[in-house]
């Protein structure tokens, strides 16, 4: 648990408190964990897999807020939302997910200033990520946004330079398109343009990259950050 950013400042005793009454769920693709507006009693930590965070429009379309993976928490901000979930959460790939008591989380926030600051830091980091995404949608074209997404998938950005690398897209391309604010047909055309511009080889959901330098030059030219992304270099940011 201490490897999860939110719990990095916790003592062993506090971790034990948070884990009291925990439930480890093995979830299949398509399982709804909760719906926006539901009463919130628990929050979640992803042990492995992928979870889609979204809201629905009045006409039933989905507005994807994020797609989270290993080590990421969600649902914890419900304690600031009158104890209701502000969004819906759906499993998009087979996953193991830990659910924990919000009541115990609130107790720790009220009684441990370091933990409260850690939670604020986690929320601020996520806000920086959202600010960066707004910037990308304003400045990057569609192929560049896909290139940025691919760069974030690399497990160790510093070690990726100077060697060939193979990346497997973690979930359906239609979902990736929605995550990046594109229609599926736009995503397909943009992926083809990215291939031509950077030399990556695409075989289904597998990407073969002989050198990431062309990908970096192409994708990062319209971004205020430099590769490797200092505040986005983690799985939970893709």
Residue-wise pLDDT tens digits, 13-71? 888 999 999 999 999 999 999 999 999 999 999 999 999 999 998 898 899 999 999 98
- The answer to whether 40 and 82 are in contact (CB under 8 A) is no
Residue 201 CB coordination number (10 Å): 11
Structural domain tally of the chain?
2
Q: Of the candidates 87, 103, 135, which is a domain's last residue?
A: 135
Same domain, yes or no: 119 and 191: no
CATH number of residue 28's parent domain: 2.60.120.10
pLDDT (0 to 100) of residue 160: 67
Q: How far is CA 19 from CA 23, 98, 99, 102, in A?
A: 9, 9, 9, 11
Same domain, yes or no: 14 and 119: yes
For residues 12 and 159, the model is more confident at 12
CATH number of residue 204's parent domain: 1.10.10.10
Same domain, yes or no: 17 and 79: yes
Q: Percentage of the chain surpassing pLDDT 70?
A: 93
pLDDT (0 to 100) of residue 54: 96
Q: Percentage of the chain surpassing pLDDT 90?
A: 54
For residues 114 and 67, the model is more confident at 67
Q: What is the DSSP letter of 232?
A: T
Mean pLDDT of the 136-149 span: 90
Same domain, yes or no: 144 and 213: yes
The C-alpha atoms of residue 100 and residue 24 are separated, in whole angstroms, by 9
Look at residue 238 and tell me whether its pLDDT is greater than 70: no
Look at residue 220 and tell me whether its pLDDT is greater than 50: yes
For residues 123 and 101, the model is more confident at 101
| Chain centroid, CA 123 distance in Å | 13
The whole-chain average pLDDT of the chain stands at: 88
pLDDT (0 to 100) of residue 236: 39
Look at residue 230 and tell me whether its pLDDT is greater than 70: no
Same domain, yes or no: 128 and 33: yes
Same domain, yes or no: 34 and 53: yes
pLDDT (0 to 100) of residue 29: 96
The whole model's pTM is what?
A: 0.81
- The answer to whether 17 and 108 are in contact (CB under 8 A) is yes
pLDDT (0 to 100) of residue 150: 92
- The answer to whether 147 and 221 are in contact (CB under 8 A) is no
For residues 227 and 58, the model is more confident at 58
- Residue 212: name the closest of 133, 155, 130 by CA: 155
The C-alpha atoms of residue 199 and residue 151 are separated, in whole angstroms, by 14
Same domain, yes or no: 12 and 128: yes
pLDDT (0 to 100) of residue 198: 94
Same domain, yes or no: 124 and 10: yes
Same domain, yes or no: 23 and 77: yes
Same domain, yes or no: 20 and 57: yes
Domain extent for 170: 140-237
Same domain, yes or no: 31 and 71: yes
Same domain, yes or no: 164 and 233: yes
């Amino acid at each position: 648990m201490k490897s999860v950013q939110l719990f990095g400042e916790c003592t062993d005793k506090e971790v034990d408190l948070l884990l009291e009454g925990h439930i480890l769920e093995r979830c299949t693709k398509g399982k709804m964990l909760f719906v926006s507006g539901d009463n919130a009693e628990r929050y979640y930590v992803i042990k492995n897999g992928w979870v889609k965070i979204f809201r629905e429009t009045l006409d039933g379309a989905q507005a994807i807020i994020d797609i989270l993976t290993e080590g990421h928490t969600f649902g914890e901000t419900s304690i600031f939302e009158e104890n209701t979930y502000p969004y819906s959460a759906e499993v998009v790939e087979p996953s193991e997910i830990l659910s924990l008591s919000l009541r115990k989380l609130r107790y720790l926030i009220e009684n441990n200033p370091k933990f409260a600051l850690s939670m604020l830091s986690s929320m601020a980091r996520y806000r920086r990520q959202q600010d960066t995404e707004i910037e990308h949608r304003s400045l990057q074209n569609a192929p560049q946004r896909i290139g940025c997404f691919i760069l974030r998938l690399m497990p160790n950005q510093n070690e990726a330079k100077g060697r060939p690398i193979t990346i497997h897209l973690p979930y359906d391309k239609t979902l990736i398109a929605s995550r990046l604010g594109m229609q599926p047909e736009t995503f397909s055309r943009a992926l083809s343009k990215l291939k031509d511009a950077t030399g990556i080889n695409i075989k289904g959901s597998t990407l073969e990259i002989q050198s990431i330098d062309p990908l970096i030059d192409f994708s990062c030219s319209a971004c205020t950050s430099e590769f490797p992304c200092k505040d986005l270099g983690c799985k939970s940011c893709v």
